[in-house]
Amino acid sequence: MASITLANVGKVYKGGNRAVTDLNLDIADGEFMVFVGPSGCGKTTALRMVAGLEDISEGTISIGERVVNEIDPGKRDIAMVFQNYALYPHLSIFENIAFPLRARRVPRAEVREKVERTARLLGLSEFLPRKPRTLSGGQRQRVAMGRAIVREPQAFLMDEPLSNLDAKLRVQMRSEISRLQEELGITTIYVTHDQVEAMTMGSRIAVMRKGVLQQQGHPQEVYERPANMFVAAFIGSPGMNFFRARYACVDDGHVLQLPGQSVRVPEDVVRQRPGLAAYRDRDLAVGVRPEHLTLGSGGGPAISASVVRSEMLGAERLVHVELPASAVVTDEVVEAAADVDATAVTALEEESGQRHVTLILRADPAARVEGGERVEVGVVAPRLHFFDLETGAAIGA
């Protein structure tokens, strides 16, 4: 087991296309680090540089105390699980798992013993004589894991290993991989574009965009204190709601001014975010997660809105409300929306030209609301997020 350190790592392809810029990360021994971001954000390139499958253009990567920039992948003592598993189709499951041991000329008896032990651990014993094509997706996934763990490497690298599985199996395998990683205590870098996977599996997550690390930290910390609008929009499902407001100082405190109404910002919230002082009488982007909006004010700050529709999801109800305000349509928000689906981008673009914005709030499934109904939407003010409209950076301390 070993720590992995990326220091000022960059990747520039032939022709000048830059995939990763100045990436700095310290991954502790035994840690489960998840690289997450939309397609093309550089997360897989970063992983492949750690693996040794891509040359490192700038900076250094160390595994343990050893700088591995010039070391061949096979000599880095790390194992990788590929997106399509890359199981050798002509070899039996036994031979697939045994491959890394045979490549290292491990004695036959030891190979058999280790492969059988690994197969027992993963529930693959009965499949050892079979060929990969006879196994289901989940079983193949386990074989790929087996091939990675059989030689007890210093670190695991996993490149979207669950993306080829159906939703139900993905949930099952998610917990299985987490359990295995905890049991084995091997340092792991896991790449995914699925923020739910990132949140549930990672002991730490690194959010990337356009080759640049946006934020790293414990999933809860990233969720609750996003560093910028991109992270705020990307992490969370449904994503964070954004609207444009003017931050103003009035006689008895601070308010967010919207067309036709204003929302009081409690003094303790203002005190916790001294950076807001610089935005007095200026427009900023306000972000609020669906669970921090409520139906009914409950005595706290509230905004008046009209219901567009409500979606019953069993355990909760998602209520879409329309608010007279301007939408925040920056590159970051659009890119995060694009990762969800193309229609989200279209909806954002439509809103950009109008004077209203749609917010989603999480309500009790028993709540009865009809489309067109006027409602008071309560805001959990301490959980409001503020962002600079130009830079997208969070406004905080």
Partner 1 sequence: MAGEPTVRNRYTWRTFSRELIVLLIAAVFCLPLYLLLVVALKPSNQLFTQPLQIPVPPRFGNFADAWAGSGDGSLGTAVISSIVITVISVALLIVFGSLCAYVLARRPGRLSNTLYILFLLGIIIPFQLSVIPLYVGLRALGLVGNYAGMIVLWVGVMMPLAVFLYTGFVRQLPRDYEEAARMDGAGTLRTFLRVVFPLLRPVTGTVAILTGMFIWNDFFASLIFLGGTDYETLPVAIYSFVGEYVTQWNLVFAAVVIALAPLVAFFIVAQRQMIRGFAGGIRG
**Contact residues for partner 1, defined by CB under 8 A:** 51-53, 72-75, 78-80, 82-91, 99-100, 103-104, 132-133, 140, 147, 151
Residue 368: both structure tokens together = 């009865």
| Separation CA 336–CA 196 (nearest Å) | 14
Query: For residue 100, which phi and psi values (nearest 5 degrees)?
Result: -65, -30
Q: Ramachandran region of residue 29, left (φ > 0), alpha (ψ -120 to 50) or beta?
A: beta
Do residues 205 and 219 touch, judged by C-beta distance below 8 A?
yes
Nearer Cβ to partner 1 (148/395): 148
For residue 194, give the amino acid letter: D
| Shortest separation between residue 277's beta carbon and partner 1, angstroms | 52
| Shortest separation between residue 75's beta carbon and partner 1, angstroms | 7
| Shortest separation between residue 131's beta carbon and partner 1, angstroms | 9
C-alpha 369: how far from chain center:
32
| Shortest separation between residue 311's beta carbon and partner 1, angstroms | 38
Do residues 79 and 148 touch, judged by C-beta distance below 8 A?
yes
| Shortest separation between residue 190's beta carbon and partner 1, angstroms | 16
Nearer Cβ to partner 1 (104/120): 104
| Shortest separation between residue 27's beta carbon and partner 1, angstroms | 18
Residues 41, 46, 51, 57, Cα dihedral to 10°: 130
Nearer Cβ to partner 1 (164/200): 164
Instruction: Give the number of other CB atoms < 10 A from CB of residue 165.
Output: 18
| Shortest separation between residue 74's beta carbon and partner 1, angstroms | 4
| Shortest separation between residue 104's beta carbon and partner 1, angstroms | 5
| Shortest separation between residue 143's beta carbon and partner 1, angstroms | 10
Do residues 288 and 384 touch, judged by C-beta distance below 8 A?
yes
| Shortest separation between residue 56's beta carbon and partner 1, angstroms | 16
What distances in angstroms separate CA 31 from CA 1, 157, 219, 379, one per listed residue?
10, 12, 13, 36
- CA torsion sign, 37 to 42 to 46 to 51? positive
Nearer Cβ to partner 1 (53/121): 53
| Separation CA 56–CA 173 (nearest Å) | 32
Nearer Cβ to partner 1 (89/353): 89
Give the SS3 label for residue 336.
helix
Nearer Cβ to partner 1 (133/374): 133
Nearer Cβ to partner 1 (132/239): 132
For residue 16, give the amino acid letter: G
Is the bond leading into 238 cis (omega within 30 degrees of zero)? yes
| Shortest separation between residue 110's beta carbon and partner 1, angstroms | 15
Q: Which of 133, 92, 131 is nearest to 115 (CA)?
A: 92
Nearer Cβ to partner 1 (112/244): 112
Q: Which of 387, 366, 391, 362 is nearest to 377 (CA)?
A: 362
Give the SS3 label for residue 123.
coil
Cβ neighbours of residue 133 under 8 Å, at least 6 residues apart? 89
Nearer Cβ to partner 1 (104/368): 104
| Separation CA 154–CA 2 (nearest Å) | 6
Nearer Cβ to partner 1 (115/381): 115
